[in-house]
Every structure is written in structure tokens, then in C-alpha cells.
Structure 1
Amino acid sequence: MVCYLKGTPATGLFFPCSTSFCLKAYSDADWASCVDSRKFISGFCIFLGDALISWKTKKQAIVSRSSVEAKYQSRGGTLCKLLWISYIPRDFGVPLQTPVPMFCDNKAVLHITANHVFHEIRKHLDIDCHIVCDQYKLGFVDHSFVRGKDQIANILTKSLSAPFLHLLSKLALFSLAPSPSCGGSVGLMHAQLGGGAAAVAQFHLDAG
């Protein structure tokens, strides 16, 4: 992590003005990832169009008995954050497109949501199940499957090597350092956005 931070001091997020006003979320969990306690790490990324606007990673305070439990608890937390974010545009009278896609790489989790199946689950997970299923029935969210290699939230929950760069390109991160060829006043930012299309934006910096 220290090496990554040292090598990317000028990297930042880019918020394009042309982005669509649609929310989407990726949630994931790394089951029993803590060697000492076997507690799991959860994480989520929430986008507005192509812009990353909210993210979180956290080691949970409880131990889950399966990867399905861990991932479902992560989805419950992600949904609560989505609901909170959705209130902001509504307060300004801006319509928000629904349902909001929530991407998951575990088909068992999606099956529980679609069929409202609760078998031998504990009380805290039961609450998450009801929250997620209720919002699914109300049409606020739509639960979609995503392949593991395209699960952006993996970057927040797992130790990655080569896949790290692939997922990093989907976060719309840009180098904000000035271009030496332009005398320090103008630079170019590049990133992979949407369906893999390359976006280039020009910006001006004060030579100061």
C-alpha cells in the first residue's frame, strides 16, 4: 500500500459533467479474511454515471458462517448507503432513475433476494435480508450478476496483483500531475470509462 501511495501522489477522481444521472453499486465481502479472528471484510463502490462518489471498506465486528452470509451483510450496508444518497437529489427535486443496479458476483445471494428465501439465518442477517428484499420489491434496486474479474468492489476487500490494475482502471482515477511537454500549464487525463471507451480531458493548472 505504501508503495502504491508513493507512486500515485497526484492521482485523483474525475467527475465528468456529461455523466448520466444514474446510480449503480458494487458490493463484495472477503469471507473469513482475518487470520486471527476470521471476521470478514466488506466493501462497496457507488457510482453516479461513470463517477465514483462513495466507497467504503471495513472489517466487520462479527464472524459469518459462510461467504453467502458475508456478502449478503455487505449488500445490506450498501443498500442503506444507496438509500441515503438517493435522498440528496430528491431534496433538490431532481428525478433519480430506478431501479438502481446492485452488482454481485455470487448467484446464491441473488437467489435469496429474488425468492425471499430465509433458511437457518441469524437475526442480524435476517434484518439485512428483509431490507434488501423489501427495496427489491419496491423497485428501488435491481440485483445483477457480475463476473468476479469485473467485480470492482474486490479492490476494497482482497489482496490483488495483476487484477488490481484492471479494476483500478474502472474507478475513473486520473493523474493530475502537469504534463512536462506542456510547460506545467496544461495536462491530459486518461481513464477507462463505461464500456471500456477511453476518455481524455484537458485541464489547466496555475504554474504558481
Structure 2
Amino acid sequence: MLDCKPVDTPIVQNHHLEEYSEEVPTNKERYQRLVGRLIYLSHTRPDIAYAMSVISQFMHSSSKDHMNAFIRILRYLKFAPGKGLMFSKHRHMNIDGYTNADWTGSITDKKSTSGYFTFVGGNLVTWRSKKQKAVALLSVEAEFRGMTKGI
């Protein structure tokens, strides 16, 4: 991957990754090992956290498309080697939180994914994205569930 062509985003927008029952699976052990190694990196690289959460959903049923999504993350890391968490000293200790949700974002089960992140003193300290447990009937419902998780 040292000679790969870099890309500017870790995952394709509107990626539509799902489980493919008719496609030839990849080597499951290799996929799990590779994704597992990048999961540790996503703790200090929030820019790849969403892409990692998407591809790690297919640890037991990976296909060629999932492996290509993984390789795209590696190509992005080559594009942005210096990014990561940076903590700096500020004169305030404000706590700011932001939430969001995508309504029926999952193609397979129509569940929404909600996420939040929190800043303390201007520094990012927590973030999370997770698929919601129930299907939201309205986008407002998905946003409200995401907001409750963030609070």
C-alpha cells in the first residue's frame, strides 16, 4: 500500500454497504485481523471513526466490496498522515455537545444511526456513533433518540 493512490475521504458518500449473500466472501480471518488493527487507530483519529464503524459491521460476512472499503481507509490515511487529536490549552472550560442522526440510514434493516461528540475546553473528549435499536418512523424521532444519547 506504500505506492497506492491517496484519496481525500475515508469512505464513499452514500456508500450502501450491506451484507451480500450471493457474492463470494473474502478471507474472514484476514479481514477481521486487518479491521481489528485499524480499530485501535480510530480511537485517536475521529476522522476515520465512522468509516471504521461501517466496515466493522461486516466482520463475519465480508465481501470484496467490504475489503475495498477497508483499502479506501488505508488510502485516506496515506492522504492525511498528520491528522489526529490535538489538545490545546484554552482560557475557558465550556462543555459543548453536538448530536446528529441519519434517518433510516441502514439499507438492510432501515434503522437510523445516531452520533454525538463533546468538547471540554475546546478539546474533543468523547464521540460515538451507534445504530439505534428501533426503527424510527420520522426523522424527528431519529434525531430525538440521537439527542438523548448525546445528553
Q: With structure 1 as the length reference, what TM-score do the two structures score?
A: 0.36
* Larger strand percent: 1
Q: TM-score, normalised by structure 2?
A: 0.49
